[in-house]
Structure formats: C-alpha cells, structure tokens
Amino acid sequence: MTWQIALVFVLLVVTLWSFVREKFPPDVTAIALFVMLIATGLLPAHKAFTVFSNAAPITIGAMFVLSAALVKCGALDQFFVLLERSAGWRYSVVVVVLVAVVATISAFVNNTPVVVVFLPIVLNLARRMKLSPSKLLIPLSYGAVLGGTCTLIGTSTNLIVNSIAIAKGLPPLSMFELAWLGVPTALIGAGYLGLFGHRLLPDRQMLTSILTAEERREYITEAFVQPDSKMLGRTFAEAGLVSARGIRVLELVRDGVAARLDPPPVLEAGDRLILSCRPKGIVHTRGIVGVDLISELNLGLEQIAAHEGSLVEGVVAPSSDLVGHTLREINFRQRFRMVVLAIHRHGKNVREKIDTTAIQGGDVLLMMGTDPAIQALRAGDDIILFDQPPLPARAHNKRLPLALGVAAAIVTTAALNWVPIEVGALAGAVVLCLTGCIKPRDAYASIEWNILFLIFGMLALGLALEETGAAALLAQKTVAFVNYFVPVHYKALAMLGCVYVITALMTEILSNNAIAALMAPIAIGIAHELGANPRAFVIAVMFAASAAFSTPIGYQTNTYVYAVGGYRFGDFMKIGIPLNILCFVVAMVIVPAIWPL
C-alpha cells in the first residue's frame, strides 16, 4: 500500500465521519474534500476539474427545472382529485392508491417536489378519514422512493451511477431498463404497505398536540406604556410580561421603529408593545398600572392588530431561504407577521431558545398569526402550510400542454436514443423558460445546488480512488475475502449481494448521492476482478442507493415527513426493515435473471 492509497482512505473515513456528525452541511464537506484532494497532490488539478464536465449533475439540474415547471403548471391537479375521492375507501386501498399515484409521478418528476406538493393533500386526506397523519406520510415517502427506481430519470442517483458507468466504458442505460426491477418492487412495496401499514405504522400526533386548550387560544394585541406608568425603567420580566403569566412580547415599537429585544430593553414612556396573550394574559395586562391595551384607549393611535391568532403548522421547504438562519437573524416576526411557538425536529419538540435555533429544511414550525398574515405566508415558497390543500394552478394551466409536451419529448428522445438524456433535459429546460412555463428566476431557485456540489465532490473522490489505485486494491481484497467462504459457482452472486447490502446500509446513514458516487466505481472494479457482468453490479448499486426505508435520514423524502408526522427514529425501522429485506430478495432474483452474471 502506497502513501497515496493510505491518505485517500484517511480522507474517505474523515468524509464519512463528517457526513454522520452533520456539523457541516454535506455539500460543504464534499467541496472541502475536493480542495484537499488537489492540495495533497492525490488528484492533479486538471483532472479534478474534469468532474465539472460530468453530464449527470447538469442533467439533474435540468430535471429540477422540469419538475418545478410541471408543478407550477398544475400537472398534478388531477391526481389531487383522485386522492380526494379516495377518502371514503378502506385504509389498505387508499394506501395502495397513494403509493401507486406517487410512484407513477416520481418515475418522471424529482421525488422531493412530489412529496412537498402532496403533503397538504395527504394531511387533508388523513383528516377526512379521521386518521393520524403518521398512518399515511411514510407511505407517501416510500411511494416516491419506489417510483424513482423505475426509470433512468426517476432519481438523481440513477443518473450519477449511469454517468460513472459510461465513463468506465459501459453502454449507457436506456430510459426504462430499470423498470424490469423497479416496477415489480414498487408493486410489492405497495401491497406490503397496504396489508401491514395500519398495523406497523404508529399513531403519532402532530405538533399542535403539545399545546393545552388555553394555549391554542392566543390573541395578538397591543399595549401602550403611559408616561406615568410605574413600570418605566423596568424590563419585561420585572413588569410581569412573561410567558408564565400567559404573555409573550413579540415586538417593541419605540419612536416608530422596532427595537431589539436582546439584550432585554427597559420600558420607556410611549412604548408600543405587540403582545401574544392567552386569555389570562389579557386579564393580567389590564391589571398592570400604566400599561394599557390600545383597544381600550382613546389616544387616536392606529391599532396594528387586535385579532384572535390562528394556529397553523408548516414545514420549511428544502430550498427555502430560511435554511441555515435563526428566527432572529431573518427577523421572522417582522418579515412574516407570524409568531413561532415551537419547532419539531428529529422527533423532538423545541420550545426553548426558539429564536436562536438555526432552521433546517424539513423543520416543522408551529406558528400563530392573523388570517391575512397566514394567507400571505401561504402564497410564498419558504414554508408549506398544512391547514388546507393548495388550490389548482389555474393561473398557469394554459401552458400545461406545453410543459407536458416538453417532458414527453425528453423521455421519448432519450428512450429511443435519438438524443443523449443530458442534451434533451437541458434543451427542455431552456424551452420551458423561453415559453414562460417557468420564469428563469424560479428555474434557478428550483435547482438544489447543494446536491449538485455534493455530487461534484464525491465524483472527485471516486476519481482519486481510481487514480491512486485504491479502488483496485479494495476490489482485490474484497474478492479475495469472498473466495474463502463461497463456492466458485456462487461467487458472483454472493459478491453482488455484498455490494447491494453494503450500499444499502451506507445509504441508510449517509447521503444516497454520495454513496452512489462512491460505490459505483468500486462495484465496477469488483465485477472486472471477478470476470462478472459489470452491468449487473451497476444496477445493484443504483437500486440499493435509492431503496432506503429503514431510517429517516437515508433518503431526503424520509427526512421531510419525519418531523411532519411526529415520527420517532424507530418507527422507520419497524416498517422499513421488512421492506428493505423484500427489496433485497427481489433484486437478488431479478438482477441475475435480466442481467446475467
């Protein structure tokens, strides 16, 4: 073993450790790895930068644009109607229909936007069926995952592995080649969830369940500090304006300007306090001498708000500008005119130090605000509210035939090998922008750039493994280890199973895109070392890197529904491990049959 091989293994371990720790975003870790590979001389700069010419990330970016355009033009509206009509059916039938619908769409549209769009629909469906949303949200996520395994463009991992296979001299996969494995698995998965979902899925409550009946009745109002008030010079706590008494100070307006609340200011004459009060808090505020509710004064002051606050829940979109910032940094109260009462993340409810908690994609926010503020929030793209399903996109549906035509053209030309998928996807994205199906600004915003840069960094690591000889060494040692335990006739099948299991296990705890980029060249090297068909190993990596069901962090859609449904980590293991085993068995039967070893 050379020092270059040893060093690249060290960097690999450090990278995986950083992914697990999540101290830094995965894309930042990947780009840092890219820089380290060049700085240490493991990868010459001119070779390292060739990863930016890889077709897979470009195709993935274009498919993000296509997905966003289809959603904006109302391509999913008819599916909403179908799900709405299924509310009176049996649970098992509803789950099968839900998985089938979502899987069909996810075979051609990026998985995450599909789940984001369907989320309010499924929550409304659960309310109509008088079910806990946790009975339907995991099937929603699993349906998107299963659908992504059916076509080449179904998920970004398929495109990444395909591009690596092409770079290794293998023929590209056709558009529907994966359907031989993906469609049977999706059908089996839908049947499994329909039969056992009601028994295995938990009955979890959403975030509003942590509030008492009184806490659900809060009012947004204002108070005025009189010049003769005995509270002058005192802090909010000293004046009794604290949550223990049912009062939350949202904003202090002094001389027409919102003042900072940290460090705690002292009250001055003429201060206007915007308060969130429970009924007992309003009574207490009335009892503070010199601090009077504006609604009860006759000072000629315009009252900003004196309405009963409505409680709503919403999930932070993965591409939201809020991600990575605290509520205080983005001035959430002034920006949205809403109050965040709690945050649900990774199975836990956060109610302390909310203002200083950095927001993450997939966080569920429990908020209170007036009806106009809620409607304004609903119109934005940062937070998806759960209280009602979205309205059909009538404003854009005149362009729906064009958007569907572009999508069909991309799929058809790629399936018939008339145009490479990357060329067709990029051309389709340009046509969508030129024809007004999606604005260029929205097109750029729809691309999840963090995923693309994660892919670039991991492609560089795969290149370094090959350049240093580490991938070849790993393949040789793995094959030699298997030779000790497996008869010659079953060696290729056993190695295929090992590659699948290793990929699947790593995907459950790390980024599926990162693992796909890492395992694809290793799997191809193992196949060559064995003298087996490398295409079978490529298919195994593709499928195993997507079929992640046992943890909420294995796939982005799982993470998204994790907080929304109030799930715990073990809930995914209970329903997901049997499905993972089913997928493994199906893959070990179908892959050797369709792609002989």
Residues 334-367: tens digit of each pLDDT: 788 777 777 777 656 666 667 777 888 778 887 7
Helices H / strands E in the chain, number of each: 24, 11
CATH 3.40.710.10 fits 219-307, yes or no: no
> In this structure, what token pair is assigned to residue 330?
């983005």
Residue whose structure tokens are 């503070």: 288
Task: State the Cα–Cα distance between residues 531 and 529, nearest whole angstrom.
Answer: 6
Q: What is the C-alpha separation between 363 and 343, in angstroms, rounded?
A: 7
The predicted pLDDT at position 96 comes to 92
What average pLDDT does range 227-255 have in this prediction?
72
**Residue 6 pLDDT exceeds 80:** yes
Torsion region of 485: left, alpha or beta (phi above 0 gives left; psi -120 to 50 gives alpha): alpha
The two tokens of residue 536 are 């079978």
pLDDT value at position 459? 87
CA distance 11 to 16: 9
Instruction: Report whether pLDDT(310) > 50.
Output: yes
Which 8-state DSSP code applies to residue 368? E
DSSP bridge partners of 247: 277
Q: How many residues does the chain have?
A: 597
Of all residues in the chain, what percent carry a pLDDT higher than 90? 18
Dihedral sign (CA 171, 173, 175, 179): positive
Under a CB-based contact definition with an 8 Å cutoff, are residues 343 and 357 in contact?
A: yes
Angle, vertex CA 538, rays to CA 143 and CA 491, nearest 5:
115
- Indicate whether 561 pLDDT > 90: no
Task: Say if residue 477's pLDDT is above 60.
Answer: yes
* Alpha helices (H) in 358-490, listed in sequence order: 371-379, 400-415, 421-434, 440-446, 449-468, 470-483
533 close to 592: Cβ distance less than 8 angstroms: no
Beta bridge partners of 301: none
**Residue 51 gets which letter from DSSP?**
G
557-588 core/surface letters (b: 16 or more CB in 10 A; e: else): bbbbbbbbbbbbeebbbebbeebbebbbebbe
Instruction: Please measure the distance between the N-terminal and C-terminal CA atoms of the chain and give it in whole angstroms.
Output: 30
For the chain, the average pLDDT equals 80
Q: Which residues have C-beta within 8 Å of that of residue 401, sequence separation ≥ 6? A: none
Tokens of 97: 């229909």
Partners of residue 222 on adjacent β-strands: 274
Structure tokens, 114: 């599909």
pLDDT value of residue 535: 93
Q: CA dihedral in degrees (75, 76, 79, 83; nearest 10)?
A: -160
Domain with CATH 3.30.70.1450 in the chain: 219-307, 311-385
pLDDT-derived band at 486, boundaries 50, 70, 90: confident
Give the other-Cβ count within 10 Å of 410's Cβ.
27
Name which residue leads in pLDDT, 251 or 431.
431
Q: What is the pLDDT of residue 140?
A: 93
- Which residues share a beta bridge with 225? 291
Considering only CA atoms, which of 61, 63, 41, 43 is closest in space to residue 51?
43
- CA gap 79, 393 in Å, rounded: 13
Mean pLDDT of 237-258: 70
Cis peptide preceding 372, ω within 30 of 0: no
- Residue 416 clears pLDDT 80, i.e. is over it: yes
pLDDT > 70? residue 216: no
Q: Give the model's confidence band at 23: pLDDT under 50 very low, under 70 low, under 90 confident, else very high.
A: confident
Longest dimension (CA), the chain: 94
For range 235-242, the mean pLDDT: 72
pLDDT, one tens digit per residue, over 417-471 is: 888 888 998 999 999 999 888 889 888 888 888 888 888 888 888 888 888 888 8
Contacts with 244 (C-beta within 8 Å, 6 or more apart), sequence order: none
**What's domain 311-385's architecture?**
2-Layer Sandwich (3.30)
Mean pLDDT across the stretch 410-421?
87
Residue carrying the six token digits 């003298």 = 531
Which is nearest to 549 in space by CA: 539, 541, 561? 561
3-state secondary structure of 597: coil
Backbone dihedral angles phi then psi of residue 215, each to the nearest 5 degrees: -65, -25
H or E segment to which residue 93 belongs:
helix 91-106
Tell me the residue type at 548. A
Q: Is the dihedral of CA 493, 157, 27, 509 positive or negative?
A: negative
Rounded average pLDDT over 546-574? 83
Token representation of residue 9:
């293994």
Q: What is the pLDDT of residue 536?
A: 94
| C-alpha torsion sign, points 181, 182, 183, 188 | positive
Q: How many Cβ atoms sit within 10 Å of the Cβ of residue 328?
A: 15
CA dist list (Å): 200 to 130, 192, 206, 573, 583: 18, 11, 18, 10, 18
Give the pLDDT of residue 213. Answer: 46
Whole-angstrom Cα distance, residue 498 to residue 68?
A: 37
Any idea what the Cα angle at residue 263 is, between residues 258 and 269, rounded to 5°? Answer: 50
In tens, the pLDDT along 59-98 reads 888 888 888 888 888 777 767 677 777 777 888 999 999 9
d(C-alpha 355, C-alpha 377), whole Å: 19
pLDDT (tens digit per residue) in 38-67: 998 888 888 889 888 888 888 888 888 888
What are 151-188's pLDDT values in tens digits? 998 888 899 999 889 888 899 888 999 999 999 999 99
- How does residue 307 score in pLDDT terms, banded at 50, 70 and 90? very low
Calpha distance 380→383 (Å, rounded) = 7
pLDDT of amino acid 295: 46
Which residues lie below 8 Å from residue 6, measured CB to CB, with a gap of 6+? Answer: none
As a whole number of Å, the CA-based R_g of the chain is 27
Give the pLDDT of residue 267: 82
Among 520, 547, 584, 405, smallest CA distance to 54 is for 520
Q: What per-residue confidence (pLDDT) applies to 219?
A: 57
Structural tokens at position 352: 């302390």
DSSP strand pairing (307-308 vs 257-259) = unpaired
Q: Give me 124's structure tokens.
A: 């409304």
pLDDT tens digits, 316-337: 877 677 888 888 788 787 788 7
